[in-house]
Amino acid sequence: MASSKKKTKTQTPAHVLAAFRRIGPRIETKGRVKLKDKDALGLYYTPGVGVASLHLAKHPEDTRKLSVKKNSVAVISDGSAVLGLGNIGPYGALPVMEGKALIFKELANVDAWPIVLDTQDPDEIVRTIIAIAPGFGGINLEDIKAPECFDIEKRLIEALDIPVMHDDQHGTAIVVLAGLMNAATVVGKSFKKLRVVISGAGAAGSAVAKLLCAAGITDIVVLDRAGAIYNGRPGLSPSKQELASITNPHKVSGDLASVLEGSDVFVGVSGPNLLTRSDVQTMAKDAIVFALSNPVPEIMPEEAKKGGARVIATGRSDFPNQVNNALVFPGIFRGALDRGVTEITQAMKLKAAKALAQLVVKPTAEKIIPDVFDKRVVPAIAKTIR
């Protein structure tokens, strides 16, 4: 039961900064062999290392077998869309990338390296990542703003023979899909017949919409700041035009309050306090509300519940049903590294979501998603990446 869990401590800014100053770096490199004598030094460094170097110069396809590439992922950001903090640049992004690297190691034993780029030019970002890719077995893009993130990821996938994934897009989408599968079970509704409204057409919102479409939901309406996105709406960017072509089959227009009426599901990946109790009351009976804006959600859970929502999820750890990307990216890259996967496909994402959902054997309104520290999560997701 949720009430028996240990409560998360409230961390004040002063407490957090004091802890970071005390600890300093949260990750470190560590040798897997010991330099105990000159023989070891001669084997693992010069002159022995020259043998490996000459071999890989002629046979680069063996790099995974003979180097750190076998178990390494680069966690890369330009700092243009950091958490809920916005465009705060590479120095602001560094603590987040370091935290992601820590999660990779602790949850999946993947050696991840935080890399922040002092440029927000897509061409330069792509060139830089391609240039450093030989030393890595995978690329985890993070906190890069839309629409640039779509083009950057696409170009890297085409250029590289290692898996590339923008976690803000696909990690979020996979957890949302898993949670929604179980939420539909809790409220007794057909998953594919759900009417879904998504507030936010950026990285996360676009990926969620596409994955829900791929999973079989046909009635999805995505909104940006100008309202519902539909085929024929003037001034749509290429990425939003793509969304319009696969969503909103009835060409619904209007603002969030009007579009939400009668819907089964609200997914918020936009901004704080955009939804009211009155808005939730206009939704269908036993509504599902995923208010994922962080740190302040689109609507607080208690307000959503008073409005009639039966299943509520947020992006926060202090409420039930946290939609947390850390449930996904460690297992996806663990599986990709172990099996030499070169691309994370939509089919893999669908299987990963299903595997994640199935870990909750008897879903309830308070439990539709596994806990991030559930030791079954990484192996279950890793098995789907093949």
Helices assigned H by DSSP within the chain: 13-23, 38-44, 48-58, 63-66, 89-108, 122-132, 148-159, 167-187, 203-214, 238-246, 256-260, 277-281, 301-306, 329-339, 346-358, 377-382
Cα Rg of the chain, angstroms = 22
**Active-site residue, selected from the candidate residues 58, 65, 91, 100:** 100
Are 278 and 258 within 8 A, CB to CB?
Answer: no
In three-state secondary structure terms, 267 is strand
**Biggest CA pair distance of the chain:** 75
Backbone phi, psi, residue 282, to 5° = -85, -10
CA angle (233, 237, 241) in 5-degree steps = 60
Instruction: Let me know if 204 is exposed, middle or buried by CB neighbors in 10 A (0-12, 13-18, 19+).
Output: buried
Q: Which residues pair with 373 in a beta bridge?
A: none
Gap between the Cα atoms of 135 and 25, Å rounded: 22
Are 137 and 98 within 8 A, CB to CB?
Answer: no
User: Is 383 one of the annotated active-site residues of the chain?
Assistant: no
Are 386 and 341 within 8 A, CB to CB?
Answer: yes
**Active-site residue, selected from the candidate residues 6, 30, 44, 45:** 45
Place of tokens 């927000």: 120
Dihedral angle at the C-alpha atoms of 223, 146, 110, 36, nearest 10 degrees?
-160
User: Is 91 one of the annotated active-site residues of the chain?
Assistant: no
Residues known to be catalytic: 45, 100
